[in-house]
Amino acid sequence: MATKIRLRRTGTRNLATFRIVAADVRSPRDGRFLEILGHYDPRREGGEKVTVNTERVQYWIGTGAQVTEAVKPLLAIAGITLPEKKRRARRKRPATAAEPVVNQTVPREDSTEASASV
């Protein structure tokens, strides 16, 4: 099951607060989720804006959950460092000496000569 750590909107109109949740990718933004990992209140000041259960966030990241772009800065405020994305090493082609490519053409018979001889 593909899992993401993302924001879930709560609160009233014009007074939004958000929950940081682990949710299945197929579920809607404010729909079903697996676990509440923290809260984010954009109207508060300082460190009170974000509260996060760091153990559970690390657990979900360890199981392969992807963190959305909106949540990454919030986790940084909470002091959680994300592991760098693993990049696959690209195989390099072996270095070869630069040899000029000779354009070899095969002489072909002219169609007018072939029809004239018949």
What mean pLDDT value characterizes the chain?
82
In a domain, 114, yes or no: no
Rounded to two decimals, what is the model's pTM? 0.66
Q: Is the pLDDT of residue 84 over 80?
A: no
Total tally of structural domains belonging to the chain:
1
In a domain, 82, yes or no: no
Task: Write out the chain in H/E/C secondary structure.
Answer: CCEEEEEEEEEECCEEEEEEEEEECCCCCCCCCCEEEEEECCCCCHHHHEEECHHHHHHHHHCCCEECCCCHHHHHHCCCCCCCCCCCCCCCCCCCCCCCCCCCCCCCCCHHHHHHCC
In a domain, 17, yes or no: yes
In a domain, 94, yes or no: no
Q: Residue 16: which CATH number?
A: 3.30.1320.10
pLDDT tens digits, residue range 29-74?
Answer: 788 888 999 999 999 887 788 899 999 999 999 998 899 999 998 9
Q: Is the pLDDT of residue 80 over 70?
A: yes
Q: Is the pLDDT of residue 90 over 90?
A: no
Structural domain boundaries enclosing 55: 3-77
In a domain, 52, yes or no: yes
In a domain, 14, yes or no: yes
